[in-house]
Structure 1
């Protein structure tokens, strides 16, 4: 059975890019008589707002989508802790106290996920008085599992290249898990068979595939769709307040826009004025 999901974080309103992703994931499941799941990724500290999670449900219903809701991330903290302890005990994680400013000062190279951490704290004794994250030692991890690959429904079989992202954070200083660890464990527990998400997360998939190999988790397929771009040629994103600049689903809903009609337009590639699709 095909099982897909839409997993937004309630730290900002949804925009048309989210709607496009949700419609694709929903339709792929429905096409094969499968299941479309909603999972709220709500472990972003005080930025996670319950009222936004409720707005997300209203947005999806307004679009005419149907779904099954699974437990939110905040109910799954024990599983994240267990997995992180497993990796730590195997010597695959190391503590890191570096701040973003300190990393930038080292002039690291820019990789698929932004600044690539240069491994400053690897093998070093860290200051116990400073906030500490746990990073994945990618080289040790690859030495343990060897080459891994994953199947993308557009690009075909891909050899994972987690080195491109560097030693990513697995346990954040301010949260019980990073996106990488939480989403990988959640997709396994929820039985996701096709991970449907934007092309911008293509590089992160190599990290997630490595974590699946390390933790003995099932391996889904991936479908990385193109991204919706605004009139400035920038992708719609919460960080650019796209959910509040005329592209927000709640905005459009309150303005009386026809939700199912909008979903059908997104399916056809008939995007609102100023919106274009950057192909995958």
Structure 2
């Protein structure tokens, strides 16, 4: 049976987000930056409101605000306030300001639920080009700086001794994270972007012996969740973005449970 065009576009969009989010999510997991991804994603709704107010593309607005949020968090960290507290305050404040800003837009029709939870079935060819362009850029950056990023993640002191600037690598990750948030907002929405960054990487962790293998497995699991979520939502008539994340969570439970059972059987 031939799939409808909108389903094919939805699957391609899901694959594009999986390709970018999964390997970047590995660094988010290794660096324990889950709050950072959440704060950047929440801030992007303010970018959506500003983009609609000034008549620019939503991608541009979300990207600019995500970059500003990331830069603000990086500059404010280490100044006497715990990072998780700082990120919690900034994430929820940015989301609240974004929602209030949306309410002031006059004469602009906005599907707020679509931006919060994604509207992958409404992805256009232009959206696909933006998503895949962002995904390729993120993957290219990670491939180019992979060894330096790994070294800076494992040991900042070793990175400095090797001539690598950990803050520069952090900036690269920040940029990549902002791009992923901007391209994924159409697919899974602001509230679920962090889940697509973290859950596939966390599910891949028990299955991988090396960082490179973990990144590859995470991409495969994220792609499986994206494709299965799109088809499942079409069959079950459920929201597509949440369905994708639900399937990713099921995959995480399966890989974690299987690993735990394997360890128990090995001990016995």
Same fold (TM over 0.5): no
TM-score class, shorter-chain normalisation, is: under 0.3
Q: Provide TM-score, normalisation by structure 1.
A: 0.26
Identify which of structures 1 and 2 has the higher relative contact order when contacts are C-alpha pairs closer than 8 Å and 6+ apart: 2
Q: Answer 1 or 2: which has greater strand percent.
A: 1
Q: Answer 1 or 2: which has greater helix percent.
A: 2
Q: Provide TM-score, normalisation by structure 2.
A: 0.26
